[in-house]
Amino acid sequence: MTWPSVDINAINGNSGEVSGVEQIMLFVGLAGEPLGNSHPLLAVSAESDIDDVLEKASPNLLEQVRAAQLNGGQNWGAYVLLAEGETEDDPENPDEPVLTAPDWLSGIELALSKVGVEGVLLCDDITDKSAGQIRINALQALRASVISSLGRRVWFITTVASPTALEKPLDWAGYREFLNDLQEGIKADAVQLVPSLWGNEAGVLAGRLCNRAVTVADSPARVATGELLGLGIGSSDLPVDKDGVEISLAYLKAFEAIRYSVPMWWADYEGMYWADGRTLEAKGGDYEAIEHLRIMDKVARRTRLLAIPKVANRTLNTTPVSIETHKNYFGRTLREMSRTTQLGGVTFPGEVEPPKEGDVTITWLTKTHVVIGIMATPYGCPKQITVNIGLDRSLEE
């Protein structure tokens, strides 16, 4: 005999909307004065008075965040980490302690455990080849560490000093050699190097990448996004080298060719624009352009949140019905990212192509180990356009 009863269970199908960290960045730089009791990690938005919120920030950090806010547009938001340098005794001048650079990597790692962002801009110019290479490799390693420990994926922008800000000032030819030596032989597909020629272009790039008028699949080279806003600090003149020679498009192209992310301009077309979001990916790698890395990071973040509720969940099993059901389940991210919109008869594609048969696979290795395969396909997007023009001289009838 069974006592009559009714059990009502609320089943969580994990079908809710995910609030992502895309288009949110962390800016890291020096504090311009002692922080005292002030918290070093601050939140800013499109409505923030940057001068007021970052009153204790160094001028360089302040200008980078201001440029990002200007180029970020509506609903822009970010976090700012103020780092204080440490003082050490100088054996030669005991009465004058030396201010050393903060431990950038530890500060960034701690901040990433407290806030969710997709990218980090380190606003501290690289001035030395050896120290710069150590930083680049350390940032790439930090990405791997954060993925392992927190399951979070981040990419980095770090700045390089201009030719006149180096310990030994250089002309443009010498500066190109310095830039080449700095990045040569390094594979770091999550790191972008931005020379500080105008002074605040890294902030301009960060804002452009996080402008919500476009998606993570859009290149910063997109001209229709508009011109770069507020490029340069206090001057509209072009940057110069040690000899006072202005930067040329030829050298900007040369910098981009060795994997630097730089601004550019078009002859007979007003405004300053961006060349491409280059990373330190190896030649022929999938992530030479930052938008491809951002697409995959977004897919990975959302798929992880879909996979966690399926741990030890027997609805995911080896039966054909379950496998087909969960192909649809794990394809949800691709379907959401592939949605198109229309405005004025113009179709704006999604971030990836709609998933097709075979883009999501499920393979059981053992009774307790399943492998989910997901293939995301970005749309083709022209960065080089060739127009062939012909002349028809035949007589009209």
Q: What is the pLDDT of residues 8-29, one digit of tens each?
A: 777 777 666 666 899 999 999 9
pLDDT value for 94: 64
Q: By mean pLDDT, which of 28-37, 94-103, 163-172 is the weakest?
A: 94-103
If you average pLDDT over residues 291-305, what whole number do you get? 96
pLDDT band, residue 209 (cuts 50/70/90): very high
pLDDT band, residue 345 (cuts 50/70/90): confident
pLDDT value for 96: 59
pLDDT value for 370: 97
pLDDT value for 342: 80
Residue-range domain boundaries for the chain:
24-293, 319-397
pLDDT higher than 70, residue 221: yes
Q: What is the pLDDT of residues 175-196, one digit of tens each?
A: 999 999 999 999 999 999 999 9
Q: What is the pLDDT of residues 91-140, one digit of tens each?
A: 666 665 555 678 999 999 999 999 999 999 999 999 999 999 999 999 99
If you average pLDDT over residues 39-60, what whole number do you get? 95
Please indicate whether residue 300 or residue 90 has the higher confidence score (pLDDT): 300
pLDDT value for 397: 59
Q: What's the rounded Cα separation, in Å, for the pair 224 and 204?
A: 16
pLDDT value for 256: 97
pLDDT value for 33: 87
Give the pair of three-digit tokens for residue 274. Answer: 């961006």
pLDDT higher than 60, residue 53: yes
pLDDT value for 14: 67
**How does the average pLDDT of the chain come out, rounded?**
92
Which CATH number does 24-293 carry? 3.40.50
pLDDT band, residue 358 (cuts 50/70/90): very high
Q: What is the pLDDT of residues 226-237, one digit of tens each?
A: 999 999 987 778
pLDDT value for 20: 80
Q: By mean pLDDT, which of 43-52, 87-96, 171-180 is the weakest?
A: 87-96
pLDDT value for 27: 98
pLDDT value for 22: 94
List the one residue out of 196, 214, 163, 167 whose CA is nearest residue 63.
Answer: 196
pLDDT band, residue 89 (cuts 50/70/90): low
pLDDT value for 17: 63
Q: What is the pLDDT of residues 238-297, one digit of tens each?
A: 999 999 999 999 999 999 999 999 999 999 999 999 999 999 999 999 999 999 999 999
pLDDT value for 91: 64
Specify the pTM: 0.91
Residue type, 65: V
pLDDT higher than 60, residue 87: no
